Structure 1
Amino acid sequence: MTSTQTALTKEPPDTRTPWQRMRIWATAHAVDDFFQGLVPAAVPYFVLERHFSYVQASSLVLATTLGSALPQIPIGILSDRRRLPWMAPTGICIAGIGAGLSGLVDSYVAVFALLLAAGLGIAMFHPPAGRDARREAGASATAMSYFAAGGSLGFFAGPALVTPALDSLGIGATALFIPPPVLMGFILLRHNRRSSAVPKRFGAHAGTDHVRLFGLLTATEVIRSGFSNGVNTFVSLYWIRHLGASSALGGTALTLELAGGVAGTLLGGRMADRLGLVRTIQIGNTALLPAVGGLLLCQDKYGALPLIFLVGLVTNVPFAVLVKLGQDYLPSRPGTAAGVTLGLAISAGGLFMPLLGLVAEHHGPRGALAALAIAPVIATLLAGGLREPGTLR
């Protein structure tokens, strides 16, 4: 037994509630992922005010994806070797400043570059944050669901706050959202520096890595993420262009979808503590296809609102569970696992956005959403090969 593992076994039991353990990290995750929610909320306004095409607008999601996806693995590896208390706070600041400034420039290239920088900030946050949050959560899927739900809440708050601001003030109102991440970055940096728990727990966890299962889980998460990114990008335009709704009601639909995501993330954590991690993932994937079918069959712009909430809920049931299961499959590399499941796999789903943009050019936003219906089938098939950590040797 190594000295790190000995120190871990001698630590007294953590008597804090799951929320007390997660509240700082959940709040930081919400602020960071707020700016991932800002991008799809701003897409209709880039189309309407900057006259970007569907392909250009959907490629803005790709810009954030490239910035956040490509660095995830090296940052994860680095965070498994060093504590780096400054990295997550700095990432929050860069994400907020890049996304906030994107609405102030006219050039498509400049907007793309700023959102690329915002994606890099997101990449800097997730691996070290996921590593330290998991150590605070311990074996509790409910605790990890609070951390993951923070990200979902940030996605939810994005359109809820951005849509009315952009409706009233135009696309330049994105700059109003720069101060919160700077403040949160300062708070998180102070928390990291004064926390005595993180240094004691720093280091690799005992256990055997199961790389094949982790790869299968990652593939499942990429497919799920492609579906989620596609819905986030086109749901507002679906309401506006297909159902004949106002831009405000389109923003409401996106807000409800993301609110369902928050509820689904919390529900998934509780389900996993009772039913098991793998079964919860399989239930979420299987239930998604009828939820999407019901949405596409409803042609009423108001009647479809509860259905988009349901789609968001079902989509996010596996979210926190996939993060925890990924770290269980790679116990010696929790930062790398968090970088892949929280960052790379989720961001990689954005790589499908230009293709969906082409579908939308020829068949409208409804065609893009219909094309996404294949994703739950693939995710269900992939998740069938996952195994509970307790059954592994």
Structure 2
Amino acid sequence: MEYSVYKPSTGMWKALNVYCNRFQGHSMGENDIRTGSLPLMLLSSSHGLNHLLQLILPTILPSLIAEFQISYYTAGLLVASFVLPYSLAQIPFGYLSDRKGHKNIMVAGLIIYSAGTLLCGMSQNVLQLGVAQFISGIGGASYHPIGIPLIFLAVERRKLGESMGFHQTGGAIGSFVAPIASAYFAVTFNWRYGFYIFSLIGMLIALLLWLGIEEPKTERKETSSSDIHKTLLNIKVLRLMLIIFCFGLVQVIAFRGLMPFLTTYLMKKHGVELGYGAQLLSLLQIMGIFGSPVFGRLSDIAGRRVMLCLLLVGQALLMYLVTFASANLLVIVLGAMGLVVFGCLAVTDTWVTEISDRSVLGTLVGVAMTASFLSGAIVNPIVGYLADNVSFDFAFQLLSILNLLGIPILKFAEYK
């Protein structure tokens, strides 16, 4: 089933789409919606919000540990209560989008995500917070298996890596804003305010998506359910699915293990304040604004797998350096890690869409996203346990080694 990209549903949005293209130096005819900038902007904004909401809890984790008197292991389980449904629900959402369309699923998922975030702020104990995080994770899982395939369908192949990088930049901006704003609310008012305010922003963006886009129209006869099942059960597709899943587990596993505990780690080891720890967490995220488009563009030139191998080595080395760097040097190390991590995410998104069968693109992207976030659900309690019984440094060094497992996995992948 092949789709044209979302097009604006009102005259105002159509005019804005034309303006965006002219601003970027594009000419655009009345029916030329495939290369429009507005759909990319809307999807990138939604991507940014998706990352923003998932980073509230990791930022304020030290406050939650102190208020609820929980161990690092329990804190890891609390993080996993979001990451587990966030990862596992990506495949069902991808499958549904392949069969039922995109707009309604994307908007409904964002509403559930925002409602769950609101419930987090209303929680009175760890159990309630864990349940609210679980609800948020289900809603948040709807975005990636829908948004990434739409980027693939929306842009020219020669600019695919660059466009995926721009899309990943939206996520990086959301990830940058979340730690600073959440820490500010926690220090100035109360940790609950971040959940309240950002949940309302989520509802607003859901409304903009509902008003600003309409369901894509098929360019040919819709693929039947039996055809999709037949494709998914093809031995080559199953093999590809396994490769994508295994690579997704380790591609940014060090980052998944570091991010939820970074502020806690910095406060414990280096004695920094929550505000400064949040700034370093934001630095890790904001570098994605540069790393995503740069490495995405470089992968257009050098090739996806070559670039991914280099980025995996870079992640492993930088993660290892985190455990030895002083508080001052961490600014450089974390900044560099942000560059390569978000670069790796952008190039991986491009690579997966290129090697996937178009009729099951959403499903295969869902597999990649499930694996990527599932690694966080697995390693976060383990990192917490090791921090309680050994040290954070030991846990992070172990993750740096696991990151390198992605290199041999890439050798098994074949382009379609």
TM range (shorter): 0.7 to 0.9
- Aligned match of 1:24: 42
Q: Secondary structure at the match of 1:112?
A: helix
> 2:311 & 2:38 partners in 1: Cα distance?
27
Query: Are positions 1:312 and 2:312 aligned together?
Result: no
Deviation (angstroms), 1:51? 2.0
Aligned partner (choices 57, 75, 90) of residue 93 of structure 2:
75
1:143-178 Cα offsets, whole Å, 9 max, x none, are 122222222322222112211111211222121222
In structure 2, the CA distance between the partners of 1:108 and 1:185, relative to structure 1 (3 Å rule), is same
- Correspondence 1:50-61 to 2 at 5 A: 50-61=68-79
Query: Are positions 1:378 and 2:405 aligned together?
Result: yes
- Aligned match of 2:314: 287
In structure 2, the CA distance between the partners of 1:151 and 1:337, relative to structure 1 (3 Å rule), is farther
> 1:6 & 1:150 partners in 2: Cα distance?
23
- Aligned match of 2:356: 330
- The count of corresponding residues between Structure 1 and Structure 2 is 379
Query: Are positions 1:146 and 2:166 aligned together?
Result: yes
Deviation (angstroms), 1:343? 4.3
Aligned partner (choices 56, 59, 63) of residue 41 of structure 1:
59
Q: Secondary structure at the match of 2:73?
A: helix
In structure 2, the CA distance between the partners of 1:93 and 1:344, relative to structure 1 (3 Å rule), is farther
> 1:160 & 1:306 partners in 2: Cα distance?
18
> 1:132 & 1:356 partners in 2: Cα distance?
35
The answer (yes or no) to whether the contact 1:226–1:350 under 8 Å persists in 2 is no
> 1:114 & 1:49 partners in 2: Cα distance?
18
Deviation (angstroms), 1:134? 2.1
Query: Are positions 1:66 and 2:87 aligned together?
Result: no
In structure 2, the CA distance between the partners of 1:146 and 1:211, relative to structure 1 (3 Å rule), is farther
Deviation (angstroms), 1:383? 2.6
In structure 2, the CA distance between the partners of 1:5 and 1:59, relative to structure 1 (3 Å rule), is closer
The answer (yes or no) to whether the contact 1:145–1:265 under 8 Å persists in 2 is yes
The answer (yes or no) to whether the contact 2:86–2:141 under 8 Å persists in 1 is yes
The answer (yes or no) to whether the contact 1:163–1:248 under 8 Å persists in 2 is yes
- Aligned match of 2:262: 235
Q: Secondary structure at the match of 1:124?
A: coil
In structure 2, the CA distance between the partners of 1:191 and 1:14, relative to structure 1 (3 Å rule), is closer
Query: Given residue 319 of structure 1, which amino acid in structure 2 is its aligned partner?
Result: L
- Aligned match of 2:9: none
In structure 2, the CA distance between the partners of 1:73 and 1:308, relative to structure 1 (3 Å rule), is same
> 1:378 & 1:15 partners in 2: Cα distance?
37
Query: Are positions 1:88 and 2:106 aligned together?
Result: yes
In structure 2, the CA distance between the partners of 1:100 and 1:42, relative to structure 1 (3 Å rule), is farther
1:286-326 Cα offsets, whole Å, 9 max, x none, are 12222223322212x12211211111211222212212222
> 2:284 & 2:398 partners in 1: Cα distance?
18
Deviation (angstroms), 1:220? 1.6
More displaced 10-residue stretch of structure 1: 324-333 or 54-63: 324-333
- Aligned match of 1:353: 380
Query: Are positions 1:107 and 2:134 aligned together?
Result: no
Query: Given residue 177 of structure 2, which amino acid in structure 1 is its aligned partner?
Result: A
The answer (yes or no) to whether the contact 2:292–2:346 under 8 Å persists in 1 is yes
- Aligned match of 2:271: 244
The answer (yes or no) to whether the contact 2:35–2:156 under 8 Å persists in 1 is no
- Correspondence 1:110-259 to 2 at 5 A: 110-139=128-157, 140-173=160-193, 174-193=195-214, 198-201=216-219, 210-259=237-286
- Aligned match of 1:302: 328
Query: Given residue 87 of structure 2, which amino acid in structure 1 is its aligned partner?
Result: A
% identical equivalent positions: 19
> 2:191 & 2:3 partners in 1: Cα distance?
54
> 2:173 & 2:401 partners in 1: Cα distance?
26
In structure 2, the CA distance between the partners of 1:226 and 1:216, relative to structure 1 (3 Å rule), is same
> 2:96 & 2:119 partners in 1: Cα distance?
29
In structure 2, the CA distance between the partners of 1:23 and 1:101, relative to structure 1 (3 Å rule), is same
TM-score by length of 2: 0.83
The answer (yes or no) to whether the contact 2:118–2:196 under 8 Å persists in 1 is yes
- Aligned match of 1:364: 391
> 1:49 & 1:86 partners in 2: Cα distance?
39
Deviation (angstroms), 1:225? 3.7
- Aligned match of 1:274: 301
In structure 2, the CA distance between the partners of 1:347 and 1:169, relative to structure 1 (3 Å rule), is farther
Q: Secondary structure at the match of 1:317?
A: helix
> 2:41 & 2:2 partners in 1: Cα distance?
26
TM-score by length of 1: 0.88
Structure 1 gap ranges (5+)? none
Deviation (angstroms), 1:384? 3.5
Query: Given residue 204 of structure 2, which amino acid in structure 1 is its aligned partner?
Result: L
Query: Given residue 159 of structure 1, which amino acid in structure 2 is its aligned partner?
Result: P
> 1:6 & 1:43 partners in 2: Cα distance?
42
More displaced 10-residue stretch of structure 1: 360-369 or 114-123: 360-369
The answer (yes or no) to whether the contact 1:157–1:255 under 8 Å persists in 2 is yes
